[in-house]
Structure 1
Amino acid sequence: MIGKVKVNQSFGAMCRYVLQEQAPGKGAEVLAAHGVRTDSAEHMAADFDAVRAMRPGLGKAVLHVALAFPVEEKEKLTNEVMSRIAQDYLKGLRIDPENTQWAVVRHQDKTHPHMHLVVNRVDLDGQTVSDQFIRSRSVDVCKGIEQDYGLIVADQVGHRQAREIGPTPKQQQATTPKEQQSADWSRARQEIGRALSYTAGQARSFDELREALRPRGIELELTRRKDGSPAGVVFAQDGHRVKGSQVGREYSAGNLEAGFAKARELGHDPAQPWQQVGQDYALAKLAAEYAQAKQRQQPERTPGQERNRGLGIGE
């Protein structure tokens, strides 16, 4: 299970996209919703915006998550199961499904099962839903759902596919040394971003993050101001240097430091064997291990039997 998280500004544009009113052949199907009408994109966006008005200064109030699954899971992932997964995903992010507006829509335009979750970052009490380190938190939530529902491990699938696919399209199309360098840098940035999504949310300091990244072949370079505060952070892999802000705004030096401070405040336990984590991460590329992991995770009973919690789907 992979969650692709974005924070946007326009509920109108997002609702038109997920409901696919201009392209009905793509098979958009509303699975569940809370606090919004689902009969049209116009009505849905109006309901989101009515609550958003309680926080007029919040520019990006639209939380959009595309949740995708391996094609092998298609038969298992009925609409009912996907609805429950979406709500468990919200709970994993500490978003109350009963006190927040949201809608989940399944699309049928791809071979693999996937759905789009639209969430209002202003809850029904007028409080802002935090997006700090939300991508890192999303990775942890997806891992938990994989385990709870007996799903194929997406981390292993992704790394196996990345090695099997080989060069990216941009690398293949490069015809000059400058284009090749740019393509290689772009791939390094993607791999650094993937590694940070698994590590940044677990660290309490730049030193801890550095130790977590080293087994993945990534070095962290930090510069500080005269007062000791972080001025900039650069990640290096295979000779390619990428600024934290180039990976994502949440990985700038200042935002990372703010996240570390929050983790220290919450008393996060950093006693995780980073070296072993790095070794497991590298071994996940082997197709044989992927097959074994899939075999081990065959559920003894269906998710519907184990997790029917009466969540009021569709209310």
Structure 2
Amino acid sequence: MIGKVKVNQSFGAMCAYVLQEKAPGKGAEVLAAHGVRTDSAAHMAADFDAVRAMRPGLGKAVLHVALAFPVEEKEKLTNEVMGRIAQDYLKGLRIDPENTQWAVVRHQDKTHPHMHLVVNRVDLDGQTVSDQFIRSRSVDVCKGIEQDYGLIVADQVGHRQAREIGPTPKQQQATTPKEQQSADWSRARQEIGRALSYTAGQARSFDELREALRPRGIELELTRRKDGSPAGVVFAQDGHRVKGSQVGRAYSAGNLEAGFAKARELGHDPAQQWQQLGQDYALAKLAAEYAQAKQRQAQQQLSQQPSQGLGMGD
């Protein structure tokens, strides 16, 4: 299970997208909702905006999460099950599904099961739903749901499904096969770069980097000179081939080899570094929870203070 989290501004645009009223062939189907009408995108957006008005200064009030599952789980993931998963996902993010507006819509335009969850970041009490560390928290929640429902672990099938959730702006604007190919290649380059930013610094050789990239659906191809030194490196994803230097100067064959040599010289242990990354995420999560606890405590203290007789205009 993969959750792709975004925070946006317009409920109108988001509701029109998830309900797919202009593209009924995509088979958008509302699975569940709370606090909003689902008969039209206009009505849904109006209901979201009515509550959003309690926090006019909150620019990005739209929380959008695309939840994707491996194609192998299609039979298991009935509409009822996916609806329950959406509510469990909200609870995992510490969002009260009974005190928050939300809607979950399943799309049928991909081979793998996926749904779109739209949430109002202003709850029914007028309080702001925090998006602090929400992406890292989402990863933890998805892993927990995989265990609870006996689902295939996302890392076992790679991240292809996450890429299929929706096109990039450049892909949407492409009108010719050539433009589409260029847009698809650009997207592959961006995702390869994102993967390398997490893996290249943890590896001590091209072999270790290759093994770290494979679970992400990326292959590494290396050519060497006669003396054995690396001549060039190419990364391949879904048929798109990208040279390391096209991803970034740091990922050319020579610069990667220099980084591996430095890591070997310093005696870095990749297992320890991955453990450190996990600890960093845990500390970030703890910091977020501590900040939220302090905020709640301050709000409680403020509410317990005796009234000073202030009027509505004060």
Provide TM-score, normalisation by structure 1. 0.56
Question: Aligned equivalents of 1:294 and 1:267: distance in 2?
Answer: 41
Distance 1:29 1:119, change over 3 A: same
Q: Is the 8 A contact 2:243 2:252 kept in 1?
A: yes
Structure 2 residues without counterparts, runs of 5 or longer = none
Q: Which stretch has the larger CA shift, 281-290 or 123-132? A: 281-290
SS of equivalent to 2:3: strand
Q: Which has the higher contact order (CA 8 A, sep 6+)?
A: 1
Q: Match for residue 129 of structure 1?
A: 129
Q: Is the 8 A contact 1:132 1:259 kept in 2?
A: no
Q: CA RMSD in A?
A: 15.0
Q: Is the 8 A contact 1:160 1:284 kept in 2?
A: no
CA-CA distance at 1:135 after TM superposition: 1.1
SS of equivalent to 2:271: coil
Q: Which stretch has the larger CA shift, 242-251 or 193-202? A: 242-251
Q: Which stretch has the larger CA shift, 131-140 or 157-166? A: 157-166
Q: Is the 8 A contact 1:139 1:198 kept in 2?
A: no
Q: Is the 8 A contact 2:137 2:285 kept in 1?
A: no
Q: Which stretch has the larger CA shift, 112-121 or 253-262? A: 253-262
Distance 1:188 1:281, change over 3 A: farther
Q: Which stretch has the larger CA shift, 102-111 or 224-233? A: 224-233
Q: Which of these two proteins has the greater Rg computed from alpha carbons?
A: 2
Q: CA deviation digits over 1:16-68, x for unaligned, max 9? A: 11111111111111000000001111110000000000000000100011101
Question: Aligned equivalents of 2:189 and 2:248: distance in 1?
Answer: 10
Distance 1:24 1:96, change over 3 A: same
Question: Aligned equivalents of 2:13 and 2:280: distance in 1?
Answer: 40
SS of equivalent to 2:298: coil
Q: Match for residue 185 of structure 1?
A: 185
CA-CA distance at 1:15 after TM superposition: 0.5
Number of matched pairs: 314
SS of equivalent to 1:63: strand
Distance 1:285 1:168, change over 3 A: farther
Q: Which stretch has the larger CA shift, 210-219 or 47-56? A: 210-219
Question: Aligned equivalents of 1:204 and 1:44: distance in 2?
Answer: 52
CA-CA distance at 1:268 after TM superposition: 25
Question: Aligned equivalents of 1:61 and 1:212: distance in 2?
Answer: 36
Distance 1:22 1:48, change over 3 A: same
Q: Which stretch has the larger CA shift, 211-220 or 58-67? A: 211-220
Q: Is the 8 A contact 1:35 1:102 kept in 2?
A: yes
Structure 1 residues without counterparts, runs of 5 or longer = none
Q: Match for residue 281 of structure 1?
A: 281
Distance 1:235 1:293, change over 3 A: farther
Distance 1:51 1:286, change over 3 A: closer
CA-CA distance at 1:133 after TM superposition: 1.5
CA-CA distance at 1:69 after TM superposition: 0.6
Q: Is the 8 A contact 1:150 1:298 kept in 2?
A: no
Q: Which stretch has the larger CA shift, 6-15 or 282-291? A: 282-291
Distance 1:45 1:211, change over 3 A: same
Distance 1:228 1:187, change over 3 A: same
Q: Which stretch has the larger CA shift, 155-164 or 180-189? A: 180-189
Q: CA deviation digits over 1:153-175, x for unaligned, max 9? A: 11221169999999999999999
Q: Is the 8 A contact 1:35 1:101 kept in 2?
A: yes
